[in-house]
């Protein structure tokens, strides 16, 4: 008697379907596990990046209590000089509950050019005091041409004359043709700080047509012709010297004695228009911090503007986050 084999065929079909379903479930499970791992690392990396801002605030904060115990007119400089315009790296081990790396770069906005303070929007003209802002921009134009091979002044001139109010954010420079190439050079990397970066050269948070000469940014110093960045040893030696010396308050005297080791530029070689906007009375009160956090294969970058809060909290002058950008 001849028997049909449909039962065997049906069984094989069912077995194949089961195999396909199980394989699909396993693939989805593996994909979900990988996604969950990446998502978890991304969220933890975000938190690590945000913690970099808190570290910066803690480092910048100047405690009045310490100043009262050990009066020193240079106390603010002693606190700030070791941490600004330099990369700091924090490595975390698994034993600490987190295996990753945090890098942060702090700069003072009073050491950058406030692009919105160069033009008098009421009078519709470039400011003339303490120097001719137009000449200052033309000098910058010549220096930046070395990077972009293009002029920004003409397009900036048209833009600023058609703008009715000061710039609110530095990102508004993206509308200007001559600045577009610089937008490929926004920030320093930990391996590079000898070039000129847009967010390290210009700001809208200085609040002055002038700069504190002690706080000058790396990009500005490179514009002014710095050849070599001073070593950390030279900076540390200067900080130790400031603990015992009294500055004269005369920039022409103090520069080559104290700022030359810090900036690597002789006062006699500084552009004359820039000399006029160096002002010791402009206090450092606004800062930027750029953080790079890495956990596993995930990296997060964050840029924040920190401004001095006028409200004292306990024994210290507080900083608040004015703006924050995820990069």
9 inside domain: no
State phi, psi for 150 to the nearest 5 degrees: -135, 155
Dig out the tokens for 102 from the structure.
């945090």
132 inside domain: yes
120 inside domain: yes
26 inside domain: no
108 inside domain: yes
25 inside domain: no
In terms of DSSP H, where are the helices of the chain?
6-60, 64-69, 75-80, 133-148, 153-161, 198-201, 218-223, 232-242, 251-254, 260-263, 272-276
Domain residues for the domain of 140 are 39-326
19 inside domain: no
Q: What pLDDT does 89 receive?
A: 94
CB 151 within 8 A of CB 188: no
- CA angle at residue 221 from 217 to 222, to 5 degrees? 115
| pLDDT averaged per 10 residues in sequence order, the chain, 327 residues | 64 80 73 62 88 93 58 87 93 79 95 93 92 93 78 86 84 72 64 72 92 94 84 88 90 91 91 93 93 90 88 60 89
Entry pTM:
0.84
Count of domains observed in the chain: 1
191 inside domain: yes
Place of tokens 């050019």: 113
Q: Are strands 202-203 and 113-114 parallel, antiparallel or unpaired?
A: parallel
Report the distance separating Cα 81 and Cα 84, nearest Å: 6
The alpha-carbon radius of gyration of the chain (Å, integer) is: 27
Residue 70 three-state SS: coil
């Amino acid at each position: 008697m001849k028997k049909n084999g449909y039962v065997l065929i049906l069984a094989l079909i069912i077995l194949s379907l089961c195999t396909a379903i199980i394989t699909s479930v396993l693939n989805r499970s593996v994909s979900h596990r990988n996604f969950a791992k990446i998502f978890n690392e991304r969220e933890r990396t975000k938190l690590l990046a945000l913690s970099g801002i808190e570290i910066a605030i803690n480092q910048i904060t100047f405690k009045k209590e310490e100043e009262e115990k050990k009066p020193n007119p240079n106390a603010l400089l002693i606190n700030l000089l070791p941490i600004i315009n330099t990369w700091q790296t924090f490595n975390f081990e698994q034993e600490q509950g987190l295996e990753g790396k945090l890098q942060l770069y702090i700069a003072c906005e009073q050491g950058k050019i406030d692009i919105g303070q160069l033009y008098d929007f009421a009078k519709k003209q470039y400011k003339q005091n303490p120097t001719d802002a137009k000449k200052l921009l033309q000098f910058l134009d010549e220096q930046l041409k070395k990077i972009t091979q293009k002029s920004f002044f003409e397009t900036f001139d048209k833009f600023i004359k058609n703008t009715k109010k000061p710039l609110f954010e530095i990102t508004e420079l993206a509308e200007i043709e001559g600045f577009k190439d610089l937008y490929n050079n926004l920030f320093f990397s930990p391996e590079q700080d000898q070039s000129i970066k847009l967010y390290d050269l210009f700001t809208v948070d200085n609040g002055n047509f002038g700069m504190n000469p002690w706080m000058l940014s790396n990009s500005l110093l490179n514009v002014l012709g710095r050849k070599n960045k001073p070593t950390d040893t030279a900076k540390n030696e200067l900080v130790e010297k400031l603990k015992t010396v009294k500055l004269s308050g005369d920039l022409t005297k103090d520069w080559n004695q104290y700022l030359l080791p810090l900036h690597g530029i002789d006062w006699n070689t500084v552009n004359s228009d820039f000399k006029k906007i160096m002002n010791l009375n402009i206090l450092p009160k606004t800062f930027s911090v750029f953080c790079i956090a890495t956990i596993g294969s995930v990296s997060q970058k964050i840029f924040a503007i920190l401004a001095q809060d006028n409200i004292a909290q306990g024994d210290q002058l507080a900083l608040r986050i004015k703006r924050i950008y995820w990069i």
